[in-house]
Each structure stands twice: as C-alpha cells, then as structure tokens.
Amino acid sequence: MVDYDPFSPEVMSGNVHPIYKQLRDEAPAYFLEKYNAWVLSRFDDIWNASLDTDNLLCGEGTTSAQVLLKVQPVTPMVNTMDPPDHTDVRVGLRKWFLPGYIRKTEAMVQEVIDRLFAQCKDRDEFDVMGDFASQISVTTVCMLCGFPLEDADKLNDLVWRFFGREEGVDGMTEDGLAAMTEMAVYFGELTAKRRAGPAQDDLVDMFLNLDVGGRKLSDEEIGSHLSMLMIGGSETFPRTFAQFMRRLAEHPEQRAECAADASLLPNAYVETLRYDMPTQFLCRTVAHPVEYHGKTFEPGQGVCLVYPSGNRDEREFENPDVFDIHREIPRHLSFGQGIHLCLGQHVAKLEARLCMEKVLGEMPDYEVDVERGDWFRTDFVQGFASLPVRPNQG
C-alpha cells in the first residue's frame, strides 16, 4: 500500500524515486487526506493537468505552503494568476524572454561567469552553488529585468532565506515569510522610484505601462511580480547546474564527449533537468469536477503535479533511471507546460551552456564531493544547497 506524504522525512531526504515509482504504478491519483489534495505522478496526467486551465486553477497559489498548508499568502504574480489577467501579464513579459532577446545578454552573462570562475579555479576547492552558480543566476536576473546590479548580493540573500526550511516546521519558516515581505517592500520601493524617474526600455517600465484587465498595476502589485521573477529566476538554475556538474562527473565518458564537443551540452543539460528536476511539485486548485483514474477531484481540492516523477515515468521514457546525454527528449516536465510554461527556460539554458563550457574548457577532470555536499531537505525544492568541487588539475 502506498503511504506518501510530501513532508515526511523520507521524502525530504532526497531518496524520492522509489516512492514516486510506487505512486505511478499503484496509485496514479493518490489522495492526501490531511491536505484535501490529490497527487498526480504519471507523465501524461501532469502534462494534461497543466494544459487544463478551465478546471485547474493557479489563483489560490501553486506552492505547497499556499495550497496544502495555507501558510503562505497568495499575492497575484504571473504564476498565480489565471486567464484573462494572466494572459495580459504574460503577453507583456513575453518579449523580454524570447531567445533573440536573451541572446543579446550573452556577452554580459559571459563576463560574469569569467569573473567568478577566475576566483574559483585556482582554489583547491570551491562551492559550485555559493561561489559560482547562484551568483551568476541572481546577477543575470538583475541584468535581464533592470534591477540594480549593486543589490545582487542582498537579493541573493533574500532568495535563500525565502527557501530556507527548519527541521520540524512544515513549509516556510518565519524567516522565509519575513524575507518574502522584505523582498516585496524592496521591489515596491524600486517601482515607486522608477515611476518617479525617467522612462527606460526595460521590464520594470513594461510593468508600469501594462494594462491588466483594463487597469494599470499599483507599485505593490508590480513589486509582487518583480519578486516572483527574482525568486523564480535565481533559485532553480544553481540547483540544476550543481546536478549537471555532479552527473557529468559520475559519467566521465559522457563528460569527455561534452568537453570534446560543446554542441552536446544543450541536450546534456535537458537530460539533467529530466533526471534531477529540483521542484518536487507545484499545485493547482480544482474549479470544476475532473476525473483521473476513476477518481473525481472536487472543486476546492488541491492537485499536486509531481514533475520529477513524471520525468522518470517509464510510460514516457525508456530506461528512465539511466542518465544519457544522447537521449532524445521530445518533451519533458521540467519547465512545466501550458500557459504557465517557464518563461525563463532560455535564460537557464544559456546560463548552463556558458557555465559548463567554461568549466569543461578549464578543468575538464574536476571532482565533486557529493558526500560533503549539503542536501536541501524540503518538500518543495530538492537539490544541493552546497556542493564542493575540486578542480583536480593534476
């Protein structure tokens, strides 16, 4: 019998795939009585649920702290909106995340990577998260969105506090909630300053001029959207990059192929995302009754979409537990699907390619010390909080 609780220590310890397999095989629509929510774990179900924006809504929030525990307030951000308002915001944002626009930032991102890597590579050991990848992602979001670069460290700190977890406390900590408020205040003030100043061609100005449902947004509302971009854009990439380093180190023959041919890197990164998706699940709330596997999901109930399980579903992928940079991956769930499909996916892909080109170009035989890495033990996001890397330059 399946016994799954996303907050149980076993699930949060990181060894999630045995229980996810059991869910897929034995209880593909699993009811979490304690939280009045359903769990979908098969690839097709998560895919279809993500597309079903008539019946499954985001307006009540999408995190476990919002939908299951109801401890995190829901402020309208692009990811917690439903059509038609979501469409207005999404259309406004789209331009800033098109591959062509992202490519224009490539030289700037490269500069940041070069500077940080230079500080890491001659050391006996560095932390790929704290010393390298997380600084890159925060700085990149600042550059993309028009946030002051001198505030990157402060924002990085707020993001990590937001995701902090405490043993024995389900969901967000008080400090995490405080960090969320501090971030909203920071971005509300930034918006007010920008409103009073000269126009600039960037994403903050886009929000100042945006019509949502026929009206302009307040500073506070824009602040929420900007916080979401900061959080969504800066936390996930470093975790996926740490796993990218780890998996290539564990498969030296695949790493050598990537070092010899950088054109393999984009697919190798997507394979890492499939294999090690950090976000364990996001939620929806049922608006109208829907049926999955003979079970009716009733209005008001939550639905958890367990992406890493779908990404290892043997109904979709052959030998899903094998890491293979040559695998053909026509579709995966790591960036979600449907109207909320990750806007930043091309940003993450650019960061991953440039970072890994740098690493393999300068220290192709690096070692990672998984044993000494800190594991981020949460129901929501899993992956390394730190991962020591040794350049191993012989």
Binding interface with ligand HEM (CB under 6 A): 50, 62, 78-79, 90, 141, 144, 229, 232-233, 236-237, 240, 279, 282, 334-336, 340, 342-344, 347-348
What is the smallest separation between the CB atom of 159 and ligand HEM, expressed in angstroms?
12
Place of tokens 């690839």: 43
Parallel, antiparallel or unpaired: strands 367-368 and 56-57: unpaired
Residue closer to ligand HEM, measured from CB, 340 or 353: 340
User: Cα(238)–Cα(243) distance, rounded to whole angstroms?
Assistant: 9
97 within 8 A of 229, measured Cβ to Cβ: no
What is the smallest separation between the CB atom of 124 and ligand HEM, expressed in angstroms?
29
Name the closest residue to ligand HEM (Cβ): 344
Residue closer to ligand HEM, measured from CB, 94 or 293: 94
Residue closer to ligand HEM, measured from CB, 254 or 337: 337
What is the smallest separation between the CB atom of 200 and ligand HEM, expressed in angstroms?
18
What is the smallest separation between the CB atom of 236 and ligand HEM, expressed in angstroms?
4
What is the smallest separation between the CB atom of 269 and ligand HEM, expressed in angstroms?
9
Residue closer to ligand HEM, measured from CB, 12 or 347: 347
Residue closer to ligand HEM, measured from CB, 161 or 274: 274
What is the smallest separation between the CB atom of 347 and ligand HEM, expressed in angstroms?
4
Residue closer to ligand HEM, measured from CB, 344 or 373: 344
